[in-house]
Amino acid sequence: MPAAERRQAFEAGLAAYANSDFFEAHELLEPAWMGTRDLAERELIQGLIKLAAAFVHQARGNPKGIEKNLRGARARLAAGAEAGRSLDVAVPELLDALDAWLAAPGGPVIVIPRYRQAAS
> For position 14, which CATH number holds?
1.10.3450.10
Judge whether 112 lies within some domain: no
Judge whether 113 lies within some domain: no
Judge whether 17 lies within some domain: yes
Q: How confident is the model at residue 2 (pLDDT cuts 50, 70, 90)?
A: confident
In the chain, the percentage of residues whose pLDDT exceeds 70 is: 97
Judge whether 65 lies within some domain: yes
Give me the mean pLDDT over the 17-36 stretch.
95
- pLDDT tens-digit readout, 8-23: 999 999 999 999 999 9
Judge whether 117 lies within some domain: no
Judge whether 114 lies within some domain: no
Q: What is the tally of structural domains in the chain?
A: 1
Range of the domain at 19: 3-103
Instruction: State residue 117's pLDDT score.
Output: 58
The pTM score is 0.93
Burial 75-113 (b: 16+ CB within 10 A, else e): ebbbbbbebbeebbbbbeebbebbeebeeeeeeebbebe
Q: How confident is the model at residue 1 (pLDDT cuts 50, 70, 90)?
A: confident
Judge whether 55 lies within some domain: yes
Q: Kindly write down the DSSP assignment for every residue of 41-62, as one continuous string.
A: HHHHHHHHHHHHHHHHHHHTT-
Give me the mean pLDDT over the 69-80 stretch.
97
Judge whether 19 lies within some domain: yes
How high is the mean pLDDT of the chain?
93
Q: How far apart are CA 53 and CA 74, in angstroms?
A: 13
